[in-house]
Amino acid sequence: MKKLLVPSLLVCVATPMFAFGPAGLTGSYTLHSSIAGTDTDQTCSLSQTNNQVAGSCKSDTGEVQMTGTVDGKNVTLKVKAEYNGEPLTVTYTGTIDEAGNVQGDADVEPMGVTGDFKLTPAKPGADTPKK
């Protein structure tokens, strides 16, 4: 009986650990994007509840709100902003790795320009990135 009990307990304890996957997107992050030949860096503060992400990102040009979703390792983040008085939406679509880095493609609508991005956990004491 003891021989069956130990493996059963291990399965019950280990299963939740594997089900959670990556740590999630809660904390301070650095967002580097390269879109249409322009590189930008922002400092973001994000919070993930279940599969929903919310937060804000700051650069030397101001602060924007970010929302998104996490589905397994797939991440979609959106920022609604203005450029020259016109509304635009930047959609970041990527995957999260075990270290909490998210990397993928950026799409700006309605401008139709694209690029790439990398979101990395901020190092403690890091200064706010410059544009």
Confidence at residue 24, expressed as pLDDT on a 0 to 100 scale: 79
Cα(39)–Cα(43) distance, integer angstroms: 14
Model pTM above 0.85: no
- Structural domains of the chain in order of their starting residue, each with its CATH number: 22-121 (2.40.128.120)
Q: Residue 56 in contact with residue 63, Cβ under 8 Å?
A: yes
CA-wise closest residue to 54 among 33, 23, 76 = 76
Confidence at residue 67, expressed as pLDDT on a 0 to 100 scale: 97
Average pLDDT for runs of 10 along the chain of length 131: 41 36 78 94 96 95 94 96 90 94 96 96 63 42
- 104: buried, middle or exposed (CB in 10 Å: 19+, 13-18, 0-12)? middle
Confidence at residue 60, expressed as pLDDT on a 0 to 100 scale: 85
